[in-house]
Amino acid sequence: MIQAQPSLKAQKSKSEASGIENLIRILLKKHRTPFMLIKRCVLEKQYKRFQKYLPNIIPYYAVKANPNPGIIKTFINLGAGFDVASAAEMKMVLSLGASPSKIIFAHTIKSIEDIEFSRRRRVRLMTFDNEPELYKLAKHYPGAHVLVRIKVENQGSVVELSLKFGADPDQALFLLRKAKALGLTPMGISFHVGSQSTNVENYLQALEISFNIFNQAKENNLPLKIVDIGGGFPIQHFDNEIGINFERMAVQIRRQMKELFDKNVKFIAEPGRFFSGPAGTLVTQVIGRTFRNNKNYYYLNDGIYGDFSGMVFDHCKYEFRTLRRGQRFLSTLAGPTCDSFDTLSMNEEIPELYVGDVVYVKNIGAYSCASATPGFNGFSPAKIIVI
């Protein structure tokens, strides 16, 4: 009887798993857990992947996804722009060598102090979505270049981002004209389809709405130049996860752009998770174990208040892996704090583990350490190691 050979995809996955596990074993000799490994080669791979499939869109890395200096420097060297949401993020990327001309202040509600900082540092491209913000900008940063952020569909996105921000599209022309009347420079349209979006229709509909606003603005002697399509590009968190196909989405987005817009229109985007997510691997260890509710129950030295914060704030699910092999048992994984909320999973099938055994998670480089709570119960987030 001829045995079926493993598929090339399965062989590749097994080889990658072996590689990352060997690297973890090497790093364990030098570093205490928890630590997060960020691989520069993966950051570069994701950047080049974006450029290959969306060549006419300039990427501005969303710093909020992971503001680690090593990540920022990598993207500076690659020529990326940066999406910042505060003066603190702006100050950091500027201090690391980013050009003010490659930064977008992509928060529609800004403090006066942050606006004035932006003016002093000559970061002039920014978003807004309401009339009062325009008066604030006109007073504290006259001549600023502005994009009106519009509300668009977020169906199929894990995190809804049109609940809090975005002007109704039928108000866009009024807001752009008001911006010009106040001495600002209206440059175009911004939108965001939601985070971890698997529904390409969100992008296609938003591009069509933006195109209609461009036409209205042109008819009113207000030519626009920029379309910011935001972020939301999805990644796989599990090796065998289905329904995630960036390449297929990119082809449709690119086609829609070409069909609707003049070739002189500048397109930018704000990928965060797509760039840093796949580059991160979190390494934790078991610090305690018990048997509860007829299951093995393991306590790890990182949890919800640390680098698994994305499970709450980002509604993210992760694939837990172990270095130990053997028969698998239904188990619970929990974090180290004294809060029962700090439970990671109630139904993981993993080998029996002992104190000191490693549990690691891939594709966790975004919205993890960035939203962690430093020092809750005295537990610090993972050390970040960029290689």
Mean pLDDT of the 323-340 span: 97
Residues 337-351 have pLDDT tens digits of 999 999 999 999 999
Measured torsion, CA atoms of residues 369, 373, 375, 376, in degrees rounded to the nearest 10: -130
| 49 is a domain residue | yes
Assess whether 338 carries a catalytic annotation. yes
Tell me if residue 45 falls in helix, strand or coil: helix
Q: Which domain holds residue 113?
A: 41-276
| Domain containing residue 181: CATH number | 3.20.20.10
Give how many domains the chain has, as a whole number.
2
| 316 is a domain residue | yes
Residues 273-325 have pLDDT tens digits of 999 999 999 999 999 999 999 999 999 999 999 999 999 998 899 999 999 99
| 6 is a domain residue | no
Contacts of 52 (CB under 8 A, 6+ apart): none
Question: Based on the domain organization, do 272 and 363 belong to the same domain?
Answer: no
E strands of 229-342, at which residues? 266-269, 280-292, 295-300, 320-322, 328-334
Question: Based on the domain organization, do 283 and 230 belong to the same domain?
Answer: no
| 4 is a domain residue | no
- The amino acid present at 67, given as its one-letter code, is P
Active-site annotation holder among 41, 316, 338, 369: 338
pLDDT at 1: 46
CB neighbourhood size of 67 (10 A): 19
| Domain containing residue 338: CATH number | 2.40.37.10
Tell me the C-alpha distance between 348 and 333, whole Å.
7
Lowest mean pLDDT among 86-95, 233-242, 249-258: 233-242
Question: Based on the domain organization, do 329 and 244 belong to the same domain?
Answer: no
Taking 70 as the threshold, does the pLDDT of residue 88 lie above it? yes
Average pLDDT in the chain = 93
Question: Based on the domain organization, do 232 and 322 belong to the same domain?
Answer: no
